Structure 1
Amino acid sequence: MNTHTYYTAVGHFRRKTNALDQSYPVIIINQQEYCVDIQEMALWTALNWRLLDFSQIEAEYNKLDQDCIIPARRTLEDCLGRLCTRGLVASGTGETGFEALYDLLGGLYVTPLSASLPLRLATFLKLTVLKGVSISKARELFRRDRPNKQEAQVMALSRQALLSTAELVKCAEVGAKDISTDEKLMDALYNDNDTTSDNIVDMMLTAESRERVTVAIANLYLRKQIIFQRV
């Protein structure tokens, strides 16, 4: 049986400067910095705000390769594998496209982009400097978004606590809207004898809300309203 595998970028980009006033790129995940070379940065950029299979990655990467003249230190497969091993890229596999999507997103944590001004500024710079997007076009991309009801609920919950896709599914299952304290959060997520932080992704496989929440998160990501983190 054929399987589907999707990939996406994790974390956000920031340009830093060393003691010699030389700039270099880093990827920041959960406040930890990861240095990357030009080839890794190009591949991570190709996956940022995208959910792609390998053939789509290859097409996007080749566009960047021509534009940036990326030195081929390693094959695309090896570079992708290295980024996955380092946790800078996530992958998900399933028998259907949706199963692969949930496998990809289930354990990733959602951070609303609008919640962090420095993050918005860093992302704006990445679009204009690395991707060559015009300032006027970048401003258009950051205009006020109009989410649907499920997307708005995802954003509202994610602004109260750092939640994974699976945890957001669980919140939808129990109708949780206020998770502003640790007690309310734990009651919403782990109010039974079976669910734990280690198995919640699997526990939500049969949840009625799984598809609509996962699709909402994917749509927010593709519209550049959120990024994904690991903890």
Structure 2
Amino acid sequence: MCTYYTAVGNFRRKRDSSGQTYPVIIVNRKEYMVDRQEMALWTCLNWRITNMEQAREHYEKLEQSLHPYITRTLENCLKRLEVRGLVVSGNGDTDFEALYDLLGGLYVIPISESIPLRAATFLKMVLLEGVAVSKARQLFQRDQPNQREAQILALSKQALLSTAELIKCAEAGVSDLSTDQKVMAALYDDDFTTCDNIRWEMMQAESREDVTLAVANLYLRKQVIFERLG
């Protein structure tokens, strides 16, 4: 059994009445306060898709700087983030099945659509991850997506879509989702497909692997973030 983890939402710095700053993670427009240990682990998983061993490797690089703020084991901290919906996991008998289980129900948000989000993401890379300003600028330069990646970005800019919904759009050759009616017609135009079961229906789709890998590549190249609803 393979298991992969990643972070959802985006990081913001807030300021309290005394002028002190503190980190929050925003998921589905809701703010979640996190302690230093949670913030460190969330940062390790943000823009990464890792197994437990890889997550531990990234986390141990920050662990020494967290003393005396470590109050729980890595496993317990990870579980707490999962329960709060700030981290998600996917399981499967193969690497790809675990990847699809991880990404199928997550919503894809192009970060280029939000200047404040891009600014907050840039600050997170520089302040929390220790990325040099010059390197961070390079990462935020517009890259050249391939045809499938460009299709995903174009669709995601028109409507809030999960990876499974993007697969169905690819299967149907849909390119116009400019209205709610067109979204419903493209995704839920029959008597059995719902937002609850589309993830499972698309498991057998021909475009499943192609789209899922394209979504993962866009995420790893910091072109999109993942959002969770509900």
Report matched runs for 1:27-66 at 5 Å. 27-66=25-64
CA contact (8 A) 1:113 1:225 kept: yes
Q: Which position in structure 1 is the counterpart of 2:187?
A: 189
Structure 2 residue corresponding to 1:160, chosen from 158, 161, 171: 158
| Per-residue deviation, 1:63 | 0.3
Deviations 1:1-32 (A, max 9, x none): xx100000000000111001111000011211
CA contact (8 A) 1:161 1:179 kept: yes
State the secondary structure of the residue aligned to 1:192: coil
Q: Which amino acid aligns with 2:107?
A: Y
| Per-residue deviation, 1:69 | 3.9
| Per-residue deviation, 1:70 | 6.1
With the length of structure 1 as denominator, give the TM-score of the two structures. 0.97
RMSD across aligned positions (CA) = 0.8
Is 2:17 aligned against 1:22?
A: no
| Per-residue deviation, 1:72 | 1.6
| Per-residue deviation, 1:71 | 2.1
Rounded Cα–Cα distance in structure 2 between residues aligned with 1:90 and 1:61? 17
Is 2:192 aligned against 1:200?
A: no
| Per-residue deviation, 1:133 | 1.0
Rounded Cα–Cα distance in structure 2 between residues aligned with 1:66 and 1:165? 36
Structure 2 residue corresponding to 1:102, chosen from 91, 100, 103: 100
Rounded Cα–Cα distance in structure 2 between residues aligned with 1:69 and 1:15? 22
Structure 1 residue corresponding to 2:86, chosen from 74, 85, 88: 88
Rounded Cα–Cα distance in structure 1 between residues aligned with 2:135 and 2:68? 25
Mark the runs of 5 or more structure 1 residues left unpaired by the alignment. Answer: none
Q: Which amino acid aligns with 1:106?
A: G
Rounded Cα–Cα distance in structure 1 between residues aligned with 2:160 and 2:177? 10
Deviations 1:118-140 (A, max 9, x none): 00000000011111111111101
Deviations 1:88-129 (A, max 9, x none): 001000000000000000000000010100000000000111
CA contact (8 A) 2:36 2:66 kept: no
Report matched runs for 1:108-119 at 5 Å. 108-119=106-117
Give identity over the alignment, percent: 64
CA contact (8 A) 2:37 2:66 kept: no
| Per-residue deviation, 1:38 | 0.2
Rounded Cα–Cα distance in structure 1 between residues aligned with 2:218 and 2:66? 28
Deviations 1:129-186 (A, max 9, x none): 1111111111011011100000000000000001000000010011110011011000
Q: Which amino acid aligns with 1:164?
A: S
Mark the runs of 5 or more structure 2 residues left unpaired by the alignment. Answer: none
Q: Which amino acid aligns with 2:167?
A: V
CA contact (8 A) 1:112 1:227 kept: yes
